[in-house]
Every structure is written in C-alpha cells, then in structure tokens.
Structure 1
Amino acid sequence: MTLYYSLVFALLVFEMVVFMSLIIPMPYSIKRKLLTFISESPLVAKLQYWIKITFVFVLVLFIDSVNRVYRVQVELAAASNVNNGVGAAALGGSERMEVQARKFYSQRNMYLCGFTLFLSLILNRTYTMIVDVLRLEEENKRLKGDPSVSKGKSAGGLDNAGDMGEIGRLKNELAAKEKDLQAMRKQTEGLSNEYNRLGDQVSPADSTPKKDR
C-alpha cells in the first residue's frame, strides 16, 4: 500500500474511533462537556479545516481508483474478445496474475476511499443529531424546573452547533418574520398618524356650513 493510501486508511481508522466515541453510552454531563469542547475549541476548528482539505484529496483518489477499475475491466473484456470468448483464463499465467492483481488493488483503493468519504458524511450527520438531542433534553429539564440547568450554559456552543440543522433554519426564519412585523407596525403607525392629521384638517371645513345655516 502506497503512502497516500496508508494515510487514507489512518483517516478511516480515526473516523471509526470518533464515531464510536459519539455513539457510546455516556452520562449526560460528560457528553455535554465533550460536545461543547468540540464546538468551541479553536484547535478542533483548525483540525476540521485541514480534514476538509484532506477529504478533497481523498475524493480525487476515489475518482482515480474508479477510473483504474474501469480500465482493468476494459482490458479484461478486450482480452476476452481477442481469445474468441475463451475469457481471461486464456491469458498467460504471469500476465493473468498481473491483471488480476491490478484489479484487486484498484478495487481495494476504491472501497477504501469510498468508505472514508461515506463515513465522513455519517459523522457529520450523527454529530448534528446528537447535539440537537442534548439541547432538547436541556430545554426539557429547564421547563421542568431542574435547578442543575442554567440559562447561561444553554447559550454556549451547543446552541451554536445545533443551528446547523433544522432548528437553526427555523430561528433565522423567525428573526426575519419579526423584522417584517416591526416594519409593518411602523407603517401602520405612520398611516394612523396621517389619517388623524387629515381628519383634523377636514373637521373644521365640515363644521363651517352648519353654522351658516
């Protein structure tokens, strides 16, 4: 295995360890501190940045491995046509072994890069779901009057991390609707003031003819 595929394998093992640490049963306080550290630590943020760049290279390796698998399949199909349908077994012993070895290594690299990319998506989604669950549990405890949950803690990194999901989108929509509501209130007040001003101007004109009569 070459150096870069060895690094991909190390990244896959690292993802497996992180995934197991996320799904393993833990006490609420320990898991909350762990996720708060992950969401607020600048060191973890830098590590996530470099890991994202690494995944770009893994994607390039995955595309290259798929291309190699395709070329080996085309080579085997061409050898099968040359030998009048006898198949790859009609190749020489050493040549056939060399082609089969290339096919095996190409498929291994394809599966290695593919599972690494797939597990990265699972990790991202699992982390977001766990953060949302913990934040909802905290809200539930606060509504029940649990004194161990303080409002200051709930405004920490868990809320910021939970905004990555559906709740964050709903919060943004609610803030936009509140801004629209405030603008409508200002327009209503302006129209009401203008209506009262026009009413004051029209009232003296209406009362003058009545005095003449």
Structure 2
Amino acid sequence: MTLYYSLVFVLLMVEMTIFCALIVPLPYTMKRKLFTFISENPLVAKFQYGMKITFIFILILFIDSVNRVYRVQAELSMAKNQGGAAAAAAGSERMEVQARKFYSQRNMYLCGFTLFLSLILNRTYSLILDTLRLEEKIKKYEGDPKAQGKDSAKLSQAGEAGEIGKLKNQLAQKDRDLATLKKQSEGLSREYNTLGDQVSGQDSTPKKDR
C-alpha cells in the first residue's frame, strides 16, 4: 500500500473512532459542554477546514481508483476473449492483471468508505446539535434554570448559523421592497399634489358673465 493510501486508511480509522465517540451515550450536561467546545474552538474549526481540503484529494483518488478498476476489468475481458493457447501462454500476465484488479478494488473501497463515513459524521453531528437545541427548548419550557446558561446560548447560536444567514437574506429583501414602496409612495404623492394644484387653480379662475 502506497503512502497516500496508508494515510487514507489512518483517516478512516480516525473517522470510525470519532463516530463511536459521537454515538456513546453521555450525560446531558457533559454532552452540551463537549459540543459547545467543539463548535467554539478555533483549532477545531481550522481542523475541519483542513479536512474538507483533504476530502477533495480523497475524492480525486476515488475517481482514479474507479478508473483503474474499469481499465483492469477491460483487460481481463480481452484476455478471456483470446482463449486457447494464447491464454495459457499469458497465464502469468493474467495473474498480474488479477493482482492489479484486487489492489484497485481495495483502493476504491477504501476511498469510497472514507468519503461515505465523512458524510455520515457530518450528518450525525448536525442531528446531535439539533437534538441538544430541542432539549434546551424543552427544559426552558419546563422552567429548568440550568437551561438558561451561557453554554446553551452558544450551542443554539452554533446550530442556528444557517438560519441566521437565511434571515439576513430575507431582511435584505424586505429592505429592498420597502425602498421600492417608498419611491412609489413619493411618486404618487407628487402626482397627487400636482393634481390638487391643478384643481385648485381651476376653481380659483373667475367665470365670465354671459
């Protein structure tokens, strides 16, 4: 196994360890502090950013391994179509092709499982954050004073980052709509004043005696 595939295997083991740590049942207070630390620590944020770049390279390795499996499979098909004495003479070559097929499939499965587990970890982390937020809300409704702490507020902010961005976009759209309505209102006001001046001018004009 080459160096970069060895690193992918190490990363797969790390992901499995993190996944097992996430699904381990912990007390509510400990779990809240742990996820608050993860969501606020700048080192963890940098680590997550570096992992995103690493997964891009793993995706490239996965595509390359799939391509290699396809090419080796094509070579095996050509060898089977030859048949007879040519196939017997090329027995050692077929063994080499089989070995390459095995290594290519191993690399494909290794990269594929690593990428798939990264998606599972991301989704599991989001679901746990959502669960903690719901538990915070339930405890607040029940009047639990522990649910009003600083950690709960930070955890809620970490889980609602996407919602805040969405609300900001909606607020900007409403500001634009309000500015458009204001311009329309000013135009209507000017037209109303102009018509009022014209009507008052016509009323003030003296009528000629017949």
Where on the TM-score scale, by shorter chain, does this alignment land: which range? Answer: 0.7 to 0.9
Residue 54 of structure 2: aligned partner: 54
Matched, 1:80 2:76: no
Residue 94 of structure 1: aligned partner: 92
Structure 2, gaps ≥5 residues long: 206-210
The 1:99–1:23 alpha-carbon spacing in structure 2 relative to 1, beyond 3 Å, is same
Residue 135 of structure 1: aligned partner: 133
Residues 65 and 109 of structure 1 are in contact (CA less than 8 Å); yes or no, is this contact kept in structure 2? yes
Aligned-partner Cα distance in 2 for 1:190–1:157 = 45
Residue 167 of structure 2: aligned partner: 171
Q: Figure out how many residues of one structure are paired with residues of the other and give that number.
A: 209
Aligned-partner Cα distance in 2 for 1:118–1:29 = 30
1:12-52 superposed Cα distances (whole Å, 9 cap, x missing partner) = 01111111111221111111111111111111111112211
Is the deviation greater in 109-118 or in 147-156?
Answer: 147-156
The 1:56–1:100 alpha-carbon spacing in structure 2 relative to 1, beyond 3 Å, is same
1:53-109 superposed Cα distances (whole Å, 9 cap, x missing partner) = 21121111111111111111111111112226x997x46443232211111110000
1:93-151 superposed Cα distances (whole Å, 9 cap, x missing partner) = 43232211111110000000011111111111111121122112212221222111116
Structure-2-length-normalised TM-score? 0.78
Structure-1-length-normalised TM-score? 0.77
Give the CA deviation at 1:3. Answer: 1.2
Structure 1, gaps ≥5 residues long: none
Q: What code does the residue aligned with 2:56 have?
A: V
Aligned-partner Cα distance in 1 for 2:19–2:49 = 18
- Seq. identity, %: 55
Q: What code does the residue aligned with 2:103 have?
A: Y
Aligned-partner Cα distance in 1 for 2:183–2:137 = 36
